[in-house]
């Protein structure tokens, strides 16, 4: 009788490489890119564990999701925990729910099956997904767990549709590829971004330019703080931005509710930063922001 292979512990996840355009061809599966926390669920003959992408055991935070996976035997499922808000997954809403210790709005989108009473990682992506779908069907798995659907074919069209709906983007996966615990070209991520113009309310200087810009947003009569941006410029652009901002230095912050920033040099909000960002956190701050340009208030 062959020796039974022991179910492994946490498996380091496969990660996607960033691309600007979706690949074409029938060999690619295209899924929605969920804006949440990557989670790996281990089901071991009644015992259940939930791991973060770094291998931390967060089982106590996700008891309702684990409880919905009433599956006998052994299975390791890869997926993403999200909160759906206003029609799309919202990272800041997820943060708020977890901070409050609530689970009622959490949804687990399962997109891969790594183990089912044996190792499945050498199988093709399309086979693993079909086995996952069959497993959920046979066990009547329902909310808060969902199978992550995919499309085959025109990935760019799906991406453009995702961007219009303000989704984070899409993930494209080679249908014939095995699962590898690394970042590689078999999984590609194509991200949509949000863009905006934000008045610059202050900056942190470095020897030749700026190290960071503090940004605001006009809300009625109030000028509120929305975070900082510290990437996206060359040394030359940084120097040019500094020269412009030096002309509008203010002795104090122009924010309606001042914030404590010991390194800040405050300015009159005469210049706007063109910024790309991923989302807005539950505190109202821009997430994953990048500087794209500078304009004066009287230029638009």
Domain assignment present for residue 285? The answer is: yes
Query: Residue 125: phi, psi to the nearest 5?
Result: -50, -45
Question: Residue 1 — pLDDT band, cuts 50, 70, 90?
Answer: very low
Cis bond before residue 144 (omega within 30° of 0): yes
Domain assignment present for residue 60? The answer is: yes
Same-domain pairing of 25 and 169: yes
Domain assignment present for residue 127? The answer is: yes
- Domain CATH number, residue 238: 2.40.50.140
> What's the mean pLDDT in 164-184?
93
CA distance 60 to 53: 16
* Reported pTM: 0.73
What are 186-238's pLDDT values in tens digits?
Answer: 999 998 877 899 999 999 999 989 999 999 999 999 999 999 999 988 889 99
Catalytic residues: 33
Same-domain pairing of 34 and 153: yes
Domain assignment present for residue 142? The answer is: yes
Percentage of the residues of the chain whose pLDDT score is greater than 70: 98
Same-domain pairing of 208 and 174: no
Residue 135: strand pairing partners: none
Same-domain pairing of 175 and 34: yes
Number of domains in the chain: 2
Whether residue 296 has pLDDT greater than 50: yes
Half-sphere exposure of 123 (CA within 13 A, CB side): 16
What are 104-150's pLDDT values in tens digits?
Answer: 999 999 999 999 999 999 999 999 999 999 999 999 999 999 999 99
Residue 145: count other Cβ atoms within 10 Å of its Cβ. 21
- Domain CATH number, residue 167: 3.30.470.30
Task: Please report the DSSP string for 146-212 in residue order.
Answer: EE---EES-HHHHHHHHHHTT--EEEEEETT----SSEEEEEEEEE--EEEEEEEEEEEE-SSSEEE
Name the E strands within 19-133. Answer: 28-32, 37-44, 47-52, 74-85, 88-89, 106-116
Same-domain pairing of 185 and 280: no
Q: Which residues of 236-274 are buried (b: 16+ CB within 10 A; e: fewer)?
A: eebeebbeebeeeeeeebbbeeeeebeebbbbebbbbbe
Same-domain pairing of 165 and 227: no
Same-domain pairing of 181 and 276: no
Q: Position of tokens 């949000």?
A: 194
From the list 5, 3, 31, the residue with the least C-alpha distance to 122 is: 5
Range of the domain at 281: 194-299
């Amino acid at each position: 009788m062959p020796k039974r292979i022991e179910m492994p512990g946490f498996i380091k996840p496969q990660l996607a490489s960033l691309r600007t355009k979706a690949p074409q061809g029938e060999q690619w599966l295209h899924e929605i890119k969920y804006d949440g926390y990557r989670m790996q669920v281990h089901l071991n003959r009644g015992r259940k564990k939930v791991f973060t992408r770094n291998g931390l055991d967060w089982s106590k935070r996700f008891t309702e999701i684990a409880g919905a996976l009433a599956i006998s035997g052994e299975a390791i499922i890869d997926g993403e925990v999200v909160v759906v808000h206003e029609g799309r997954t919202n990272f800041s809403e997820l943060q708020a729910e977890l901070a409050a210790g609530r689970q009622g709005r959490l949804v687990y989108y399962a997109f891969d099956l790594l183990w089912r009473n044996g190792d499945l990682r050498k199988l093709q992506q399309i086979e693993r997904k079909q086995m996952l779908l069959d497993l959920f069907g046979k066990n009547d798995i329902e909310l808060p767990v969902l199978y992550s659907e995919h499309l085959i074919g025109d990935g760019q069209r799906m991406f453009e549709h995702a961007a219009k709906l303000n989704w984070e983007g899409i993930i494209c996966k080679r249908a014939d590829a095995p699962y590898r615990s690394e970042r590689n070209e078999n999984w590609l991520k194509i991200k949509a971004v949000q863009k905006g113009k934000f008045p610059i309310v202050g900056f942190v200087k470095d020897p030749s330019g700026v190290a960071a810009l503090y940004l605001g947003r006009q809300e009625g009569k109030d000028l509120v703080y929305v975070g900082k941006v510290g990437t996206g410029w060359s040394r030359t652009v940084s120097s040019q931005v500094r020269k412009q901002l030096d002309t509008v230095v203010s002795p104090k912050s122009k924010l309606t509710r001042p914030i404590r920033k010991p390194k800040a040099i405050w300015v009159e909000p005469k210049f706007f930063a063109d910024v790309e960002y991923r989302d807005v956190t539950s505190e109202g701050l821009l997430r994953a922001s990048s500087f794209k340009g500078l304009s004066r208030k009287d230029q638009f």
